[in-house]
Amino acid sequence: MAKLTLASSPWFLSVSWRSLPPLLSSRNALMMDGRTDGLNQSGRKRTSLLGSGATLLEIGLVMLTIKVSRPARTTDSTPSQLSSLNSATRTKTLVCQFSVKHEQKLDCGGGYMKLLSGDVDQKKFGGDTPYSIMFGPDICGYSTKKVHAILTYNDANHLIKKDVPCETDQLTHVYTFILRPDATYTILVDNVEKQTGSLYSDWDLLPPKKIKDPSAKKPEDWDEQEYIPDPEDKKPDGYDDIPKEIPDTDAKKPEDWDEEEDGEWTAPTIPNPEYMGEWKPKQIKNPNYKGKWEAPEIDNPDFKDDPELYVFPKLKYVGIELWQVKSGSLFDNVLICDDPDYAKKLAEETWGKLKDAEKAAFDEIEKKKEEEESKDAPAETDGEDEAEEDEGEESDTESKTEAKSEVSEETAEKDATAHDEL
């Protein structure tokens, strides 16, 4: 559900979007169920798409357009018209919230949402379409499991510099991004704060206020060596006379050793337990140590503050545009508003009331799967019974085992050949 409290004209949107498994044509099937509800009226529009593509929904106009895209690429969107948000974001907090469920056990793909300007051509909406804000989880393998928070400033996309972990299971989770007029932000996952800070420090939107003085030079007498050899530490007498290896006193000349043919026998050497390696004086604190030298900071002449750094004046649409290797994600409860408390309350009233039942149902399904798999698993053979058979039966068993081994080898060769052909 998306609520836009703009002037005296609130809007509500409830969107469910699901990418279905691939069809025989190898193209992804997408289905979107959008519903718009006014304060005193309600309407519904549903569309199902066969073949991959983009589905665009504009709040208020309830307009749907379809664009077919290439196989293996999932580009889908839910653009929502934010007609009066332009002026509201200059003085109010901006909240973007939605839930997403990767029930396909997503191993590589996105689950993020975009806020876009009114300059977007909905018929050409796709991955290359410029956006203002991109927010949501992104998962790929073991290395990428994070929440994207990308802000566009001066036509450039800037990624958040802090690490924000996302959820990776197959359950529904709620992601919330809050931008405030004081240029601070907060990111929540399932109504729990995961990151907070400032737009100035956590994105490279503006040049830094301070820079290292390029004209500064390290003084010649600046000592950066923290430890120095102890000048009073002396090498012990006879230290260098200790050999690294010594003859093995336990070794004995082999009885068949022939000195005429093999030469004079000498005992092999072993590491000397008394050898302590190359002598080095012990280290002491350097009394002249001044620390690592750094150039002093000065005001950056290229820095120009932007008091409206947090403002995105042309926001008009909400869009879902992403790339996935495996389809099956479910988006719901999209919310754009200016009240973090309302967003938190809505999350508890939707996701919060269902999360325990969803988890219990999921665990029950997984338990049944494990039980079915255990029933289908082959029973283990009892080796002890075979060991107690008489010699004749053992001989028969060996013959059968050899025959099975030959069959297994033939099967392995066929599998290897098939794999090479692939």
Q: What is the pLDDT of residue 258?
A: 87
- Under-50 pLDDT residues of the chain: 1-78, 80, 83-84, 86-88, 400-401, 403-408, 411-422
Nearest by Cα to 401 from 385, 386, 413? 386
The one-letter code for the residue type at 122 is Q
Beta carbons within 8 Å of 395's beta carbon, 6+ residues apart: none
Cβ atoms 71, 23 nearer than 8 A: no
Report residue 300 as tokens.
Answer: 């950056």
Task: List, in sequence order, every beta strand (DSSP E) within 217-278.
Answer: 227-229, 245-247, 269-271
Report residue 269 as tokens.
Answer: 């050497």
Report residue 224 as tokens.
Answer: 């950066």
User: First and final CA of the chain: distance in angstroms?
Assistant: 47
Tell the residue number behind the tokens 């072993």, with chain if given: 270
Tell the residue number behind the tokens 């990308």, with chain if given: 150
Sign of CA dihedral 358, 359, 365, 366: positive
What single DSSP character describes residue 171? Answer: S
Distance CA 219, CA 216 (A): 9
Q: What is the pLDDT of residue 99?
A: 92
How many Cβ atoms are within 10 Å of 214's Cβ, its own excluded?
Answer: 7
Residues facing residue 335 across a β-bridge: 97
Q: What is the pLDDT of residue 108?
A: 86
Domains, the chain, with CATH or none: 2-206+310-366 (2.60.120.200)
Q: What is the pLDDT of residue 262?
A: 84
Distance CA 337, CA 98 (A): 12
Beta carbons within 8 Å of 179's beta carbon, 6+ residues apart: 89, 93, 94, 95, 185, 199, 310
Distance CA 23, CA 27 (A): 6
- Give me Rg for the CA atoms of the chain: 35
Q: What is the pLDDT of residue 346?
A: 93
